[in-house]
């Protein structure tokens, strides 16, 4: 069985003596890949958005989860098995994202807590003040890229255009700004 996303994909495999097992379709299995995608994309996107806090990264990560999962996934699996596998894959994709972005491993996704987060009202003024305080401690260009990307929710291209820099430069600037913001936050904790 192929392993991706930190767990085993539900599917039939070879039986004893290498003979294929008869694959029985679960009663609550998906009819086709489109149904599987449509039933899970919003839930995964919302979960990932709750972890990264911006539309662009959440969309990219959602795509990454499906790309990683579609190979090993089988339509014969039950909806519950598929959802569990997608959650495991999201866990791995998110851990890789934070490792690339911050140089540290953040691996926890508590699905119940994420659902609870999505039902909560927007953060109070304290959180916004704290974010503004952290931004104020950054150099002007670093602060501006983060404001454009995360507060104004602009795409990387639009942010680069607004700052008069290339998209590649904007990516590097954003990466460095996020690392600086994380350091400021750690210093104040």
- Identify the domain containing residue 143 by its residue range: 125-188
Do 182 and 91 share a structural domain? no
Q: Say what the pLDDT of residue 23 is.
A: 47
| CA atoms within 13 Å, Cβ hemisphere of 88 | 17
Domain boundary among 119, 152, 177: 119
Domain boundary among 119, 144, 179: 119
Structural domains counted in the chain:
2
Do 100 and 145 share a structural domain? no
Do 69 and 12 share a structural domain? yes
Do 114 and 170 share a structural domain? no
Hey, what are 13's tokens? 């495999």
Hey, what are 87's tokens? 């959650």
Give the CATH number, domain containing residue 137: 1.10.10.10
Do 162 and 133 share a structural domain? yes
Of 36, 130, 138, nearest in space to 77 by CA? 36
pTM recorded for the entire structure: 0.45
Do 108 and 141 share a structural domain? no
pLDDT per residue of the chain (189 residues) written in tens, 0 to 9: 333 444 455 554 444 445 444 444 556 788 888 898 999 999 999 988 888 888 888 899 999 999 998 888 888 888 888 988 998 899 888 888 887 776 655 545 555 554 454 445 555 566 677 888 888 999 999 999 888 887 787 888 888 999 999 988 988 898 888 888 888 888 876
Do 137 and 113 share a structural domain? no
Do 157 and 104 share a structural domain? no
| CA atoms within 13 Å, Cβ hemisphere of 181 | 24
Residue 76: exposure state from Cβ atoms within 10 A (0-12, 13-18, ≥19)? middle
Q: For 18-37, how does the pLDDT look when each residue is reduced to its tens digit (9 = 90+)?
A: 544 444 455 678 888 889 89
Across-strand partners of 3? Answer: 8
Phi-psi sector, 96: left (phi>0), alpha (psi -120 to 50), beta: alpha
Q: Say what the pLDDT of residue 1 is.
A: 38
Do 100 and 10 share a structural domain? yes
H/E stretch holding 7 reads strand 7-8
């Amino acid at each position: 069985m192929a392993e991706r996303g930190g767990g085993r994909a539900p599917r039939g495999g070879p039986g004893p003596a290498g003979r294929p097992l008869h694959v029985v379709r679960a009663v609550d299995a998906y009819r086709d890949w489109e149904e599987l995608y449509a039933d899970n994309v919003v839930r995964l996107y919302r979960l990932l958005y709750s972890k990264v806090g911006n539309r662009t990264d959440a969309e990219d990560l959602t795509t990454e989860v499906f790309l990683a999962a579609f190979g090993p996934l089988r339509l014969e699996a039950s909806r519950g098995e598929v959802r569990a596998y997608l959650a495991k894959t999201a866990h791995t994709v998110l851990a890789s994202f934070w490792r690339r972005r911050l140089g540290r491993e953040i691996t926890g996704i508590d699905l119940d807590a994420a659902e609870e987060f999505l039902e909560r009202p927007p953060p109070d003024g304290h959180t916004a003040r704290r974010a503004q305080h952290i931004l104020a401690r950054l150099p002007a260009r670093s602060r501006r890229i983060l404001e454009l990307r995360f507060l104004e929710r602009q795409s990387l291209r639009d942010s680069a255009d607004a700052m008069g820099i290339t998209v590649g430069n904007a990516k590097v600037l954003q990466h460095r700004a996020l690392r600086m913001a994380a350091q400021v936050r750690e210093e104040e904790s």
